[in-house]
Amino acid sequence: MHYLWMFIVGLLVGIVAKFLMPGKDPGGFFVTGLLGVAGMFVGGFLAQTLGFKSAISGTIEPSGFIGGVIGSIILLIIYRLFRRNTSA
């Protein structure tokens, strides 16, 4: 049940990130959810590295959601950089 909840929250994070950074990206339901989950890991890692978050908690917090959106946007930027370099 934990993985289902993580995917649902990741899907919401991925949708918000794609809304804030429109463009041609891979996606569908599953890829957007994976983008959000991966973005939450990246955002959590960055927050912990910068000292904003002491440890990963089991609850969903607004700061974690925002960090997940920021992490997802970073992953979208990286994807677009690689896509542009491989297609040229």
Q: What pLDDT score does 65 carry? A: 81
61 or 68, which is more confident? 68
For residue 2, being part of any structural domain is answered with: no
Q: 11 and 32 share a domain? A: yes
Q: Is 57 helix (H, G, I), strand (E, B) or coil?
A: coil
Q: What pLDDT score does 47 carry? A: 78
Number of structural domains found in the chain: 2
Over residues 18-59, the pLDDT tens digits come to: 888 877 776 677 888 888 888 888 887 887 788 776 555 555
Q: C-alpha angle 1/5/65, rounded to 5°?
A: 155
Residue 18 and residue 12: Cα distance in Å, rounded? 10
Domain residues for the domain of 67 are 55-87
Predicted structure pTM score: 0.77
